[in-house]
Amino acid sequence: MDGPYVKRSENGWDLPTVARRSFLRTSLFGAVGVGLGGFGLASLGFLWPRPGDELVGEVPLGDAASLAALIRTERAPVRVPEGGISIVLWDPANEAAMQNYGTDHQAVLDAETALMALNSQDCPHLGCAVPWCQSSQWFECPCHGSRYNRWGEWVGDPAPRGLDRYASSLDDGTGQFVVDLGAYITGPARTSNALQQPAEGKACVDV
Ligand code: FES
């Protein structure tokens, strides 16, 4: 006959009821602990310095002409991981672009060539990094599928606007492309699509 603290299982093993309760309690606390721990770590992640946070003020990011040539040859932005920046070309001959970007992005190399520094590290939707998609020639966010054209302008849901960016200029003395990390610029409105660039190939992120 089993005592009050012992339960007989089907395979004949005697399992003390107290041990079973203790096991269930430990499991429950363990699960809650893991959940809270994950939440705590995620919260800390927002506070923890990210790569690039140490870059401050005006930072030269390389010879402007060489950067422009590289972007053209590779058909891809130049990525600066330390700052979460993607350097792209924009066209000052495009009237709408000049109106939207001419004031803050003054690294103009010639009539049709200028550089701009996008923040591709923080999607304006919920903050995921937004990689470049070589086939579509767009930035495509893997988290919820927001898409941005080559100039970081919004082209697809759910982001509320285009990619944010930093003011930039050309150092006339050295020819360096200089980005001002202290001058953060909110991305252009959804309606500001100066480039009008359709996807140029297969998407990298299914939506
Ligand atoms: S974080 Fe980029 S689409 Fe949601």
Query: Which atom of ligand 1 is closest in space to residue 141's alpha carbon?
Result: 2
Q: Are residues 159 and 79 in the same domain?
A: yes
Tell me whether residue 20 is in a domain. Answer: yes
Spatial separation of the C-alpha atoms in residues 143 and 166, rounded to whole Å: 23
Question: Are 62 and 28 part of one and the same domain?
Answer: no
Mean pLDDT throughout 173-186? Answer: 96
Measure CA of the first residue to CA of the last residue in the chain; give whole Å: 63
Q: What's the 60 CA to ligand 1 centre distance in angstroms?
A: 29
Tell me, yes or no, whether 37 and 72 share the same domain: no
Stretch (H or E) spanning 33 = helix 17-47
pTM as predicted: 0.75
Gap from CA of 149 to ligand 1 centroid (Å): 15
| The pLDDT value given to residue 62 | 97
Q: Are 95 and 30 contained in the same domain?
A: no
Check pLDDT > 70 for residue 4: no
Query: What domain range is 22 assigned to?
Result: 6-47
Ligand 1 nearest atom to the CA of residue 158, by list position: 3
**Pocket-forming residues, ligand 1, beta carbon under 6 Å:** 123, 125-128, 141, 143-146, 158-159
Q: How many domains does the chain have?
A: 2
